[in-house]
Structures are given as structure tokens and as C-alpha cells.
Structure 1
Amino acid sequence: MLTIAALPKPFIGHIGLIQRNSIQSWLQMTPRPQVILFGNEEGTAQVAAEFGLEHVPSVECNEYGTPYLRSVFAEAERRAVNDFICYSNCDIIIFPDFMPAFRRALELFHSFLLLAECVNLDVKKPVDFADVRWQEDLRRRMCEKGKRRANAADFFTFRKGMYPSFPPLILGRSYFDNWVIHETCRLAHPVIEATGQITAIHQNHYYAAAPGETIHSHAGFEAAENFRILRGWDNIYWLYDATHRMTAGGIHRSLIGSLHLINRWQRFRRWLRRSMVSLAARAGLRERPYYAE
């Protein structure tokens, strides 16, 4: 029914621990999904063998060793034995309530993009998935100490073949997930935001920097390159740009709410700012910037 694709970091220290938590959470779904791990970071082959997962060690990368979205997504589509693929960051625990939400979307739509916000939570120990109370324990901790990871698309599910092609975006840097949402809207497929119906945890961790980058994936030249490929803010969509919302009462078309209006206003302001900068550059009043928000 579902194929999950992921690109792990090295399975060492705390990041190794939380990645194992994530992978084991995916395997609690019924029916068990096909899971494909990409890349050849330390421990990936061993973890794939331990849990009976598929492993694709070779992926196309840029000169700094950061994988391209097109390489991972195209290969995931080629290897997937199911009609739908979920790409997930490898630090995301996804609860089994994902499958009922996924089936609800499938009852109404042939093709769609399904996503939900996560909750940030410190997880410092392995989750005991053999304990029948693992979901109850994590939900309690989420209520006590979790913080909503607003508007971040850490995992998303789409029909295989839904996207005609993939641009040379850099995976794991800002804006690649924004492209997925925008492209889905451009192709007139539903974007279903299911926060509240799908429970997911982003396990907090330290963000290691790539060469020449800051520790944040939204800053640095790789993020700027993704921004350039997308040709600016007009082509960058977020969760609150979803066309549909899933609630306990059903799946409904989104109304133009306050967040949506704020997003549109911010885009207009950026467009106006860029236009003024462009006019000033033509008039010789200032140099045109390479990357301006």
C-alpha cells in the first residue's frame, strides 16, 4: 500500500538513536510499508539488513556530497512496489494513525499530496516499540513538553508518477519541500493538510553544518541555490497553502483563512520589494543583489 523513502544521516550517537526510533515507528504501520533507505552513510547498510529494508547506496550528489532530490525521488519511484510514496526525514516518528488518514484520502482522491505538522520533542532514549503503551507514553510527553513544529513539511505522501519531472533541488536544504507543495497545486492535485489526524514527532537534534553552510538548512548557499531554482517566493508554498484540510468530520476544501492571506500579502511585499530593487538597479541607483528576500 505504501513505500517510505528516507535519506539517513550516519547512525552514530544521538542521531543514530533517533533515526532507529523513526524507522521502527514506520514499521508499526499496518500493513507494513516497504522502506527504502538511500545513501551510504555509516551504519545505513547494517540498519537496512537488521530490519529487512531495501538499501540504495548510490545517489547523485553535488560537489559537497549533498544529494539531489531528483536522484532520490526518481529512484524511489522506480523501486517502489506500491502506488504511493512517503518521503520522510529520518528523524520523524510517525504514529500508526497515519494509515487510517491515508485511507480516508484515498477514498476521495486518486492522486494527492498528504502532509501534516510534527511536534518537536526531546527524545534521548530508544523507544520500546514492544511495549503496547509506547504510543500512550509518547503522546503524554508531547502534551507535557512538545512544541508544535509549525508549517514544516517533514514528511509527505504522493502518488507515484504524479510529478512529470524533478528539478535539481538539493535535498535536506530549505525549499525542496515547498516545491513539492507548489508543484502539486500547479498540477491541480489536492494538497491535504492532516495535522490533528496524523500524529508525528520531530525528535530534536543538533544540526551539523555542510561545508560553507551555517547549522541551519535555510541559510547558506545550498539553500540559496534551491531558492534560485524555484525563482523566488511566488513559487514557494507552505502547509497553509493546502487546498484541503482533513478533520475528524471529513476532508474539506480550505477556506482562505488568515494564514493564507498573510502568506499572500508577504509574497506581494516581496514582489514589490524586488520590483523596486530592479527599477533602482536599472536606474543605476544600486547594484542588483543575487539573493534577496
Structure 2
Amino acid sequence: MTGSSNGGACSGKGVYLKLSVLFLLSTTIYVYLYSNITMQTFAIGEVMKGTISDIQRWRDKMEGWVQMIGGGSSHSYTEYVKNTSFPYSGHNVTRPQVRKSGNNENMVKPMSKLIFLPHKNIRKSTNVSKFNVVGDKPEVLLTLFTSWPTKAEKYVCHNNTIRNWLQLKPFIQPILFTNETLLAQEAVEKGWDVLPVRKAGRGVPILKYMYKDAMEKYKSRFYAFSNGDILYSHSLLDTLNVVLNSTHIPKGKPLMVVGRRTNVQDVTSEEAISGESVYKTANIRGKIFTVWAEDYFITSANYPWKDIPEVVIGRRAYDNWLVSNARKQKHVTIDATDTLVALHQTTKAGNQEGFKADNPEYNHNLLRRMYHQLHYSAGLTSCTEYYTHHSGDKRIKVLPRKIPRSCFPV
């Protein structure tokens, strides 16, 4: 009986061992097959995404070509773009020659081509009578410039900006700073002016030289850098006109206008097609952003940009430092948030792109080497000396502000 019992136990253990091995083998095969199938599915998905993206880009190009060629128009494409601007769009502005990047390591390298599409302008005309007219041409109120590298994920965003800023002509002169030859050609074809990036830090344009070059080449009442994903409406012109004629602001002092932006997720071409639709979209879908973020810097023609450190755009710290420095130097500072709609086109990159970019601490490290103390909180939009406000009769006024204690010391 004992021998028979031991034999049965051994037999049971052998069966259990075989089943265990079979189970492990089956599990290994399943995991292997599942992993392969998952990776292949992911790869196919990525290929399909790229294919769909290519199809969409070609569709957009075809739509642009149809709009340019269709309707039996004999005008050139440049003439077509001119017809999308405000009244007096025949305003002549010299088109600078685009310089190809040389061996200077500070110059931004050429990249791929980016197409900007034409569109039909449905924006109501700005009241020309509110602005000065020299001869038969309106005075340029603002020279507005920006810079960006070619990025596929920013295609719609930058296309919207090109069209939006173009609608502000001739009162506003849009400029793109770039050393990308193909990108520069596209911008010129669509009605913008282009200037080369004269000096950069780690491949990123240095802000002060952008101002100096724009101020040297163009004559206007104001000059401004703006991030390339910001859209504007008639409120920009209206606000600057009031600032220009305000009796509350000391005359002759350097002046800086800043403001908070309004974030809108995934702005469509239809929402960006006119100043009116930008204004409406910002009010319906927009969310006002923090007082820490400043995306545009509108300064007077006498602003001393030559004295500003060589901070670069698109990286954190420079915006708050610029405002705090303006306050320290007793320049006029104005917060235009209440009256100037600056719509930020929020994409998948989110609302903190400066923190995610290469060398995000570039400006902070530069400023820290130059100054013993950095009080960034003294450079918030809420720390400015003046602010713009809609009064009861819907007119814009510039009012003095009681600056919070948190804005000191400067």
C-alpha cells in the first residue's frame, strides 16, 4: 500500500509540474504576441496620423490655390492679400530683402517651408477718422513684430496669426524676424515685412536687437514685440489711440503697455478669420490668464532698449523683469488688460511653453549674474502705475492705480 501511495503522489506532482510549465509557456507566448501586435498597431496608428496630417496639409494648400486662382481674378497673389487689409491698404511699405543665414553661429538656421493661406476679410473697418492721416495715408500707429521657428504642430496657429495681424494694416505694420529663407518668402508673399535675426542667444532671438532694428527701419508711434500665437482685435487700436491722447499720462517719458492674455484652446481658422470673431471667441471661450504672464510689450519710440540686458524671447523671467525695470526707471507703465483683448491660441503644448523649451532658465541665469536681487513679483501686470478701463459710456479711459504692497520693493 505504501509503494502504491508514493507512486500516486509522484505521478500527481509530475502532472502538476507539467501543467505549470505549460502555463508559463502559454503566458510567455501570449505576452510576446500581445506585445508585437500592440507595437505594430501603434506603429500603424502613427503612420496613419502622419498620413492624415499630410492629407490635411495638402487639402489646405489646394484650398489656398483654389482661392487664388478661382473667380477669374487677374490680380497677383500679393495684390489679393493687399485687398484683405483695412481701408487705405495701398499704403506703401518697403519690403526688405531677406538675408540668408551665413556662418554666424548666433544666426537661426533655415528650416522647412510653411504655407500661409489667403482668406476673405469679413472684419468691419476701423474708424479711420480716429487716427492721424498724413497726406492720403494713415499714420502707422504700431510696428508689431514677432518670431517663431517652423513647427508642424503650430501650423494652424501661425497661419491664424499671419492673417489676423495682416488685417490691422495700415495702422499696424506686422514684421516677422526670421533667418529661415522659405518661411521669410512665405511671410512676404502674404503681406508681412521680414527682418533677419541679427543676434541670438542659444539660437533664440535677443529681444533688444529686435526692437532696435524695428525702430531703426520703421517710423511709428509705438513698437511692440508679441508672442507669435497671440491674436488681436480692434481693441488694440482703440486702446492705443486712447493711450496716445490721454491727458493723465506724463508726456515725453518712456512708456510701456502690457496686459494679461486670454487663453482659448484650439482656435479654429473660422474663429480667427476677423478681428470681430477673435473678440467674440475670446469672450465666449476664453479664460483670462495669470498676472504673471505678459505676452506683448508695447513701448514708445523713445524707450531705451539699448540699456536692456540681452534677454531672449520665449523663455521665462524676462517679461516680469522688463516691467519691474520699467517701474524702477520711473517709466510710464500701463496695464491694458481690461480693454485690449489678446487671444492666446492654446495648443497641445499648453500655457507654460517657456518652462518646457530648451534652456528655460537662460534669462533667469543671465539676470542673476547681472543683478544681486531679482524681485519678479514687482513686474506683474497688477503692479503698473496706470490701467485702462471701460467707463459707463463704454469709452476707454486711462486711470491711475493704487499699487499693492506686494509690488514693492522695486
Taking structure 2 as the reference length, the TM-score comes to 0.55
| Aligned position for 2:335 | 193
- Alignment of 1:261 onto 2:401: no
Distance 1:261 1:133 in 2: 38
For structure 2, the residue ranges without an aligned partner over 5 or more in a row are 1-140, 392-396
Deviation string 1:108-142 (CA, Å, 9 cap, x unpaired) is 24442112111111125324655686236413542
Distance 2:380 2:358 in 1: 16
Cα offset, 1:198, TM superposition? 0.7
Counterpart amino acid of residue 28 in structure 1 = Q
Structure 2 counterpart of 1:240:
382
Structure-1-length-normalised TM-score: 0.75
Deviations 1:178-203 (A, max 9, x none): 23213322332221101120111111
Residue correspondences, number: 256
The corresponding residue for 1:175 is: 317
Equivalence for 1:68: 206
> For structure 1, which runs of at least 5 residues remain unmatched after alignment?
269-293
**Which structure would you say has the larger Rg?**
2
1:6-61, CA deviations, whole angstroms, 9 ceiling, x for partnerless residues?
A: 11221x32313212212322233364311111122475313322322211123211
Where is the helix percentage greater, Structure 1 or Structure 2?
A: 2
Secondary structure of the 1:76 match is helix
Closer, same or farther: CA 77–230 of 1 in aligned 2, 3 Å? farther
What is residue 98 of structure 1 aligned with on the other side? 236
> What is the alpha-carbon distance in structure 1 between the residues aligned to residue 288 and residue 335 of structure 2?
18
The residue type equivalent to 2:400 in the other structure is R
Give me the identity figure in percent: 19
Kindly provide the CA deviation profile for residues 238-288 of structure 1, in whole angstroms up to 9, marking residues without a partner as x.
Answer: 2121000111132121113xxx32343xx69xxxxxxxxxxxxxxxxxxxx
Aligned partners of 2:315 and 2:361 also within 8 Å: no
CA distance in 2, matches of 1:120, 1:128: 13
Cα separation, 1, equivalents of 2:346 and 2:223:
25
Q: Which secondary structure state, in structure 2, belongs to the residue aligned with residue 191 of structure 1? A: strand
8 Å CA contact retained: 2:292, 2:320 = no
Q: Secondary structure at the match of 1:101?
A: helix
Give the alignment of 1:32-111 within 5 angstroms.
32-41=171-180, 43-62=182-201, 64-108=202-246, 109=249, 110=251, 111=254
- Whole-angstrom CA distance in 2 between matches of 1:132 and 1:221: 35
* 8 Å CA contact 2:211, 2:223 repeated in 1: no
- CA contact under 8 A between 1:174 and 1:218: conserved in structure 2? no
Which has the bigger relative contact order, CA under 8 A and spacing at least 6? Answer: 1
Please state if 1:13 is matched with 2:156. no
Is 1:215 the counterpart of 2:359? The answer is: no
Deviates further, 15-24 or 25-34: 25-34
Q: CA RMSD in A?
A: 3.0
In 2: Cα distance, 1:127 partner to 1:44 partner? 23
One-letter amino acid of the structure 2 residue matched with residue 234 of structure 1:
H
